[in-house]
Structure 1
């Protein structure tokens, strides 16, 4: 049997265009909802606390770092701890979505090889399971806010919802683009992991952005898309309105990212079965 004959038996996409794939996959909420939920259950199978382990880890990390940060940045616990916790909760969502995006099509290879389906379902399942994790971690922020700064839990906090929607919207194009890149070039996954380890320290999560001035502030704050993605969710959670510049930056990143990701998905979508 020739290579062309062997590869001809690989399943083709369920639909013909990238747009049909993205829209059709989004409408199949029952499928990606079940896939995402099963992934969460599989991760914590045979554990006593299950997803609560993530909450416990975050709580311990926040407590340890909070004690140091209050003194290091000369802030009160009522100011620093909600800032730190809300930033970490959003960062964990972004970081996990990004690192898992590298394997979204690699781990879904069995589905790709055996059945016809909308490939975007794998992306939506990734978003759903990470949203579940975010909601679990949000418990830590709520507890911290109730204990140290209950005033931040006001109507302004509701603005975190559109910010969260923007984060997930960006997570979708990141998953598409990195999923394709890492499926074709497996070394990209290691690069992304390294960059995310560095990004957590150069993004204002542990430290307030006001500590930087001049060029350093421009590089690590103003021109840091991760900061703006975090800020559109974190600012409402600490009782502040997100700055218009953050919304503008996030919308710009969303438009550019989706344009690049869509073009790549439209061009290489049919090669996913052959790269898997």
Structure 2
């Protein structure tokens, strides 16, 4: 039985409750973050806290706690649930004023809801997908236009995961106007002639915390990085491909729409980036 956090209380998960009028439930009016835990420490917490603040600001949502308070809650949940390797999910919604209405409730009189829970993932950094790579299909990107805000509106990404599952592969890359935007829960990259190519940040993609760190580390390692759009056809002709996310870190992609990438096995660059990233994150974990 996990201990979870709900609006100021640490509770057994079967005692956790949120109002049926909460706008996160009724309107998907909420934002979230997922922070990895390795060896009992938080990975890239400051980056996730900064992006959470940005998401709330973009939606005119009142913050339920300070960054320092959120850090303490994260650490307490790690302690209470004895998490060695795993994830901490955090969600903030606009709360409820006791009824359903399209208009936002008054932020001065309506407190936002704050929920956190842990997921234990032993061996998180040793996922077989990092060794073997994953296969993806391409799907049309029909999400709303503010993908830079990490909202709980995840129905279409969930549908994309199910499309991939039905096709017998692990994930899907979304395509808009002929160009790859991102994966269902990750940022997408290709490698050609030792150059890393990934879409530049904009409202079209999530500004990944892992993405930012990986690109910084790649440049420090004298790897070439080019931020621009690329097509599925270009990806299929690439030497390597990979994805990044808070839980997948750096994971190779070995097949796109049935076409093998390179030799059809992970190349050299993505595994090396994963190694560099995990080494640095463990050094800076808190």
Q: State which structure, 1 or 2, has the greater radius of gyration over its C-alpha atoms.
A: 1
Where is the strand percentage greater, Structure 1 or Structure 2? 2
Higher RCO structure (Cα 8 Å, ≥6 apart) = 1
Instruction: Name the one with the larger helix percent.
Output: 1
Question: TM-score under structure 2 normalisation?
Answer: 0.28
